[in-house]
Chain A
Amino acid sequence: DQQVKQNSPSLSVQEGRISILNCDYTNSMFDYFLWYKKYPAEGPTFLISISSIKDKNEDGRFTVFLNKSAKHLSLHIVPSQPGDSAVYFCAAEGGSEKLVFGKGTKLTVNP
């Protein structure tokens, strides 16, 4: 049973436009959510996180939105840059230090 779902395996956007990556979760015990960026053959790099007590967190070009009632979060990147091309993983945790990851969405930003 997949507790964290990223239903879009890939996303392609034009440079300068907005990238929206989506993530759904099923476990209502999750109270902290993170986004990681990963390049091939490298470990994930932390991007941004949000606690369940908030509905939005912004850091530069990256904004994460959390809709607890829908058990849905999204990562917005604006403006998108070619260097943003990578696989983005959504992760969640609740009650323990274990992170549960989605399968990732491969973002391609075209020049």
Chain B
Amino acid sequence: GAVVSQHPSWVICKSGTSVKIECRSLDFQATTMFWYRQFPKQSLMLMATSNEGSKATYEQGVEKDKFLINHASLTLSTLTVTSAHPEDSSFYICSARDARGFTEAFFGQGTRLTVV
């Protein structure tokens, strides 16, 4: 199946610093990528839809200025957690769909963010 690579797989940062997470589709082009956050023992919650070449669409309750999303190319989207706080500690996962219209979404391996 298609491969989505997410980097880093885990990161520890200090409060107040910013962290960038990358999501790459390795063998297909993705006009749309999605960013999810998963809290312990809970479902994946969609944070935002990342559109190549345009602004991301954020879900209700997600702070745009805190979670900056950039989708500069058809194979790369980045999520930057700005001025991180301990409550931002979570598991962040990206997904992407093949621009050719296949319906399955493929997920990255996730990033465990811990803010200390």
Contacts and interface: CB of A to CB of B under 8 A. Distances in A.
Interface of A: 9, 32, 34, 36, 41-46, 49, 89, 97-104
B106 A46 contact: yes
A101 B44 contact: yes
B67 interface: no
Interface stretch (B11-19, B69-77, B82-90, B107-115): B107-115
Nearest to A34: B104
- Counting chain B residues whose Cβ lies within 8 A of the other chain, the interface size class is 20 to 34
The interface residues of chain A, by DSSP majority, are classed as loop
Given A46-B107, A103-B42, 5 more contacts: A41-B110, A42-B109, A98-B49, A102-B43, A103-B43
A46 B43 contact: no
A44 B32 contact: no
A49 B106 CA distance: 13
